[in-house]
């Protein structure tokens, strides 16, 4: 999930800016994933679980911790791992999944 979401953010960043680096804070990463997870009564446990995934992505060299604490650089080779076709397929799937977690509210 995080790989696909990060690849999407990288694509958005490439389209919106000429900057070659994408920097995200830990809070950005947590918020990005939180939207796809069901609500929990223990928010700290959820954040701890996401921190474990962030560490794993650093170990896989998809993310690199910056000198500024709590900030990460998304590495460009992620584009080779998740290509545009896979990104499109997962985008449709994740949109459907998000809609099932948060159904639209009726205005009536």
Domains by residue range for the chain, with CATH:
2-101 (1.10.10)
Q: Is the pLDDT of residue 21 over 80?
A: yes
Q: Return the structure tokens found at 96.
A: 């459907």
**Residue 50 confidence (pLDDT) above 50:** yes
Name, in order, each residue with C-beta under 8 angstroms of 81's C-beta and a sequence gap of 6 or more.
3, 7, 62
CB 2 within 8 A of CB 33: yes
Q: 10 with 63: CB under 8 angstroms? A: no
Q: Cα angle vertex 73, ends 58, 97, to 5°?
A: 75
Which pTM was predicted? 0.76
Q: Are 31 and 2 in contact (CB under 8 A)?
A: no
Percent of the chain at pLDDT > 90 equals: 37
Q: Give pLDDT, residue 107.
A: 53
Q: What is the 3-state secondary structure (H, E, C) of 27-67?
A: HHHHHHHHCCCCCCCCHHHHHHHHHHHHHHHHHCCCEEECC
The answer to whether residue 57 scores a pLDDT higher than 50 is yes
């Amino acid at each position: 999930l995080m790989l696909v979401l990060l690849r999407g953010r990288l694509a958005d960043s490439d389209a919106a800016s000429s900057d070659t680096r994408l920097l995200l804070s830990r809070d950005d990463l947590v918020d990005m994933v939180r939207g796809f997870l069901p609500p929990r009564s223990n928010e700290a446990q959820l954040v701890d679980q996401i921190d474990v995934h962030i560490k794993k992505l650093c170990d896989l060299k998809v993310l690199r911790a910056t000198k500024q604490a709590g900030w990460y650089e998304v590495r460009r080779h992620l584009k080779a791992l998740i290509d545009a076709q896979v990104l499109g397929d997962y985008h449709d799937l994740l949109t459907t999944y998000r809609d099932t977690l948060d159904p639209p509210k009726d205005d009536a």
